[in-house]
Chains A and B, each alone.
Chain A
C-alpha cells in the first residue's frame, strides 16, 4: 500500500504529494493527467478529443514559456469544457530521461517519478488515465473511453492503450508509422496500490503482479510528432542507435534523421488530408479508423 503523503527530499512541503484518494472518497469517472512543457502548438489539435472522452483533465504545466496553459484553457473554453479542465503549475526542472533520471533520487522534486506522483495526486475520480499533450484520440477512442467511464464505475481493472506515431510535415501532410506502435498501461485505478516509481530511464507505474493488464482495441490513438520540432530535448545522453534498449526512440530518431537529410524514411505511410482539413483531424476522424479496419491487429 502506498503512502497517503509523499514528502520530497528538498523539504518543499507546499509541493508534497498529497493523494486526493486519502482525503476524500473517489467519485466515479476517469481523469486524464497530461504533463506538458512548451506544447502550446499541440493543444488545439490534441486537447479536444481527450476533453470529450473523460470526465476531467488535469493538465500539469512544467514551466512552459510558450503559453501552453493559456492555449489549453482557450481550447477548452472554445469547446465549452473549461470547467472540466484543471490546470496546475509545477515549477521545477525535471531530470531528463536516461542517465540524468537515473542519477536523481526518486523523492526529489526533479525526479520524473515524483513529478508523476504529484501530477496524479490531484485526481479525484476512481480511475486515472496517463495521457500526453501530443496524443490524439480517434472518434472510436473517444467513444471507448466514454463507455469505460461508466463500465468501470464499480469494477477494478488496468488497461493499456496502443498508440501509433504520426509525423506531421505540414497542415495537410503527415507520415504514419505502422511499424512502431507503443503499448503502455495508461488507465489505472486511483488508489493506494497504484503510484509511479523510479525506473532505469524513466518512471514506471507500480502495477501489482496479480493484476492482468487488458489491452484496448487497436486504432484508438495517435502520438503527434512535429518534424520541425525538437522531440528529443527531454532525453539526456541516450544512444538512440541502441535499438534493443530504446526501440521506440531509436525509430523516431531514424525518422527525424531521414527527414532532416531529405531522404524518404523507411516503412512510413504518407497521409494527405483533403483541402480545408488539418491532417491531424483527418487522421483521427477518417484515415486511422479506415486503416485499422483494413488490417489485422498489431502484435504486442
Chain B
C-alpha cells in the first residue's frame, strides 16, 4: 500500500496573488539544477545573497545561496549522511532535523528575513531534498507557498559528469546507487507539493517553452509576467556551449542489475514529467523503491566484512594506500 492522492490536501492550491512564493530547485547534482535556478533568477526570482561563487565546474555560477549550502552541509554532517547517500535509511536520519528546535528556528529566522524583502525566492542546492519537509514547514508558517522543480537527467550522464567533475572520490557504482536513492525519494517526498519534473534535455532544446510551461503549471506570476528584458537576460545567461550528450552505461562499468533499475526509474520519472497524474508511473516508482531497497540490503549484507573492517580498523582504502597491513597479515 502507498499513500494515495489525498483529496483533502489539494496538490495545486489556488493561487493567492498576495502570497509570496518559493520555488525549490531539486535534483541530483550535474542535472541542470544550476541552469534552471539561474534562468529563474534572471526572470526575477531572488536568490538570497551572497551566492556560492562560480568555478570551473559551473562557470556561469550555481544560483545557490551560500547560507543554504552551509546550513545543509552542517545538518548533513550532524546526521552522518552524504549529499549523494545511497542508503534508503538516510532519509529518516535527515528527517529528524525537522523535530529539533535549533535547526528549525535557525531556518525559520533566516527565511523570514529573506521573505521580508517581498520577492519570490528560488532556493537551490543539490542537498536541499534531504531537508525539504523542514523548508516546507517553515515556508507554511511564514505564509509562503512552496513549489518544487526537479531536474531530470539520464543517470549514465549524471554519473559520467560527476566522475569527470569530481573525480573518483566515490566509486561509479555507488554514484549510480546514489542517483537512484535521491530520485526515487525525491519523487516520493514531493507528492503533497505543487511540483514539476523537467528533463535537462528539454531545457537545452527549448528553455522558453519549458519554463513558461512550468510557470503555468505551478502558477508562478514571476514567470507568467516576465518582461521581454527579463527573457533576454535569461537568454544571455544560457551558455551556448551546453550540449546534450548521449547516455552510455558501457564505459562506466555499473552492474547490470543497478543499471536496469536506474533505466526503469528514469523511464518512470520521464512519464511523470510528461503527465504528473500518471498513476501507473507512480505505482511503478513505488515498486522500484522496494526493489532498490532489496538490492541495497543485499549488497550491504554481502559487503558487511568491508564495513566491519572499516569500523574496527579504519578506512580500508586508506589502509591500502598507506601499505598498512591488516591484523591478519601482521607478523606474530
Contacts and interface: CB of A to CB of B under 8 A. Distances in A.
Nearest to B89: A155
B8 interface: yes
A56 B2 CA distance: 10
A293 interface: yes
Given A28-B2, A150-B189, A140 B88 contact: no
Interface of B: 1-4, 6-9, 88-89, 91-93, 95-96, 98-101, 104, 133, 136-137, 140-141, 185, 188-189, 192, 286, 289-290, 293
A58 to B, nearest CB: 13
5 contacts: A55-B1, A55-B3, A140-B141, A149-B3, A157-B92
Given A151-B189, A152-B92, 6 more contacts: A140-B141, A144-B133, A154-B89, A155-B89, A216-B99, A293-B141
B6 A52 contact: yes
A217 B192 CA distance: 20
B88 A153 contact: yes
A27 interface: yes
Nearest to A48: B8
Interface string A211-223: 0001111000000
Contacts of B91: 150-151, 153, 155
A289 interface: yes
* Max count, chain A CB within 10 A of own CB: residue among B7, B91, B93, B104: B91
B36 to A, nearest CB: 24
Contact of A27 (B1, B9, B137, B192): B1
A273 interface: no
Nearest to B88: A154
A289 B293 CA distance: 36
A88 interface: no
Contacts, number: 88
Interface residues of A, number: 38
Interface of A: 27-29, 48, 51-52, 55-56, 79-81, 84, 124-125, 139-140, 142-144, 146-155, 157, 214-217, 289, 293, 296-297
What 9 A-B pairs have minimum CB-CB distances, sorted nearest first?
A: A155-B92, A151-B95, A80-B7, A154-B88, A27-B1, A147-B133, A155-B89, A217-B99, A151-B92
B99 A150 contact: no
Contacts of B136: 143
Contacts of B141: 140, 289, 293
Contacts of B88: 153-155
Contacts of B100: 217
A195 B88 CA distance: 26
B109 to A, nearest CB: 11
B3 A79 contact: no
* Max count, chain B CB within 10 A of own CB: residue among A29, A142, A148, A151: A151
A80 B88 CA distance: 32
Contact of A29 (B1, B7, B133): B1
A184 B7 CA distance: 30
B293 A81 contact: no
B48 to A, nearest CB: 22
* Max count, chain B CB within 10 A of own CB: residue among A51, A140, A146, A289: A146
A147 B95 contact: yes
B192 A146 contact: yes
Contacts of A52: 6, 8-9
A152 B289 CA distance: 13
Contacts of B6: 52, 81
B189 A147 contact: yes
Given A27-B1, A52-B9, A125-B1, A217 B98 contact: yes
A261 B146 CA distance: 49
Contacts of B96: 214
A216 B4 CA distance: 24
A293 B143 CA distance: 14
A157 B89 CA distance: 10
A124 to B, nearest CB: 7
A81 B8 contact: yes
Contacts of A124: 1
A21 to B, nearest CB: 14
Contacts of A157: 92
Nearest to B189: A150
A157 B293 CA distance: 17
A125 B3 CA distance: 11
Given A52-B9, A147-B189, A140 B101 contact: no
A148 B104 contact: no
